[in-house]
Amino acid sequence: MVRELKREDLPYIHQTPAQLFGPSDSFESIESAIFGRKDSLYLIYESTQKKGYMGMHVDLDSADIATLFVHPNHRRQGIGEALIKDAMNRLKIRGIKQVLLEVSIRNHAALHLYEKMGFIAIHTRPNYYPNGDDAQVLTKELR
């Protein structure tokens, strides 16, 4: 089940080794980044336990996917796809026309998932990540 993130989900976010947040970030900085911004939309996938989450920032008629994390024990089970589908539906209701994201060109699983979900590559950002990896910029038009 996909639902909007609540404050009681923050310990799960804080302990995950995701790209945007991780255990080295303070609990307060994560809380501020998620709940301190009016333009944020964070979703979590939960059944018997929390399995992943997704965060987006909305600006007028477009949105940027800031993070998509699925716990390694639950990957390849449709959780990322469920989060993306739910997010796209919520964004359409809000009148969002376009979604953008950056993903490492080495993250083949994520690239495959985003392409499967209808995202198309529009640009490469050289040395985008701290480790020197390039980022592929992807977009999807919402109709």
In the block, tokens 């992807």 appear at 138
Q: Which stretch of DSSP H or E encloses residue 139?
A: strand 135-141
CA-nearest of 45, 38, 141, 44 to 88 is 141
| Exposure on the CB side of residue 31, measured as CA atoms within 13 A | 8
Quick one: three-class SS letters along 69-114? Answer: EECHHHCCCCHHHHHHHHHHHHHHHCCCCEEEEEEECCCHHHHHHH
Give domain limits for the chain: 2-141
**What pLDDT sits at residue 22?**
64
**What pLDDT sits at residue 15?**
80
Given a cut of 70, is residue 23 above it in pLDDT?
no
34-70 residue pLDDT tens: 888 788 888 899 888 899 999 999 988 899 999 899 9
**What pLDDT sits at residue 19?**
62
Higher pLDDT, 19 or 28: 28
Task: Give strand pairing partners of 138.
Answer: 101, 121
User: How many helices and strands, by DSSP H and E, does the chain display?
Assistant: 4, 7
Identify the band that residue 3 occupies on the pLDDT scale cut at 50, 70 and 90.
very high
**What pLDDT sits at residue 63?**
95
80-139 residue pLDDT tens: 999 999 999 999 999 999 999 999 999 999 999 999 999 999 999 999 988 899 999 999
**What pLDDT sits at residue 30?**
83
**What pLDDT sits at residue 137?**
98
Q: Which CATH number fits domain 2-141: 3.40.50.970, 3.40.50.300, 3.40.630.30, 3.40.50.800?
A: 3.40.630.30
